[in-house]
Amino acid sequence: MANQAVTDKGNSCCGHAESHAEHTFKTATEALKADHRVIEEVLNALERLARAPELSALDQWEKAIDFIRNFADKCHHLKEEKLLFPAMEEHGVPLEGGPLGVMLMEHEEGRGYVKAMAAALTIAAKDPAAAKKTLQEMGRAYVRFLREHIQKEDDILFNMADDVLSGEEQKELLRDFEEHELKEIGSGVHEKYLAIAQELTAGR
């Protein structure tokens, strides 16, 4: 089902009014994987926008970029960077020159694509041809890039995390995720971004 991930209960991002991730997920990595499924739905929508022959639906581009900046980056990537990766580092997984460093670099690289897409949107009225070219190129590249990043985390990095972190540490991380969401994003924002993901998935 196309938008199963965005309609399922128990996604961990962003800013739930009530703390329930701890009750929904057994591990922090499971919660992050649930975020990935929602992000992938938006990547599918972004791919559709980037492959459209004409540059239209600028409001959908805006929504997709808003979602990526806030749900995917500010909430999800920062939970990895500020909480999961340091916890893994404490167990001897190296930051520099290791998989964590690669993931950090990739997060930064992803921000570059998003910045370019956001800049292109601002010139869409004045120079639609240039905006279209950048949005289509950057959009396709970003989709490809983030899918690969997600796959590396799902298949490799999170397995490493599951190997080194104890059950109690995973539960502590889940609690920290909730705190992070409330502090960084605020309550109620989770629902807003799930609604945006649903809208984009439905192609409205």
Choose between 55 and 143: whose C-beta lies nearer to Fe ion.
143
Choose between 66 and 81: whose C-beta lies nearer to Fe ion.
81
Straight-line distance from the first to the last Cα atom of the chain, in angstroms, rounded to the nearest whole number: 17
Interaction site with Fe ion (CB under 5 A)? 80, 153
The span from the CA of 83 to the CA of 105, in Å, is 16
Choose between 80 and 181: whose C-beta lies nearer to Fe ion.
80
- Which residues, at least 6 apart from 21, have a Cβ–Cβ distance to it below 8 Å? 10, 12, 31, 174, 177, 178
Which ranges constitute the DSSP H helices of the chain?
Answer: 4-7, 21-24, 28-51, 58-67, 78-79, 85-90, 99-122, 128-152, 158-164, 167-184, 189-202
Choose between 132 and 149: whose C-beta lies nearer to Fe ion.
149
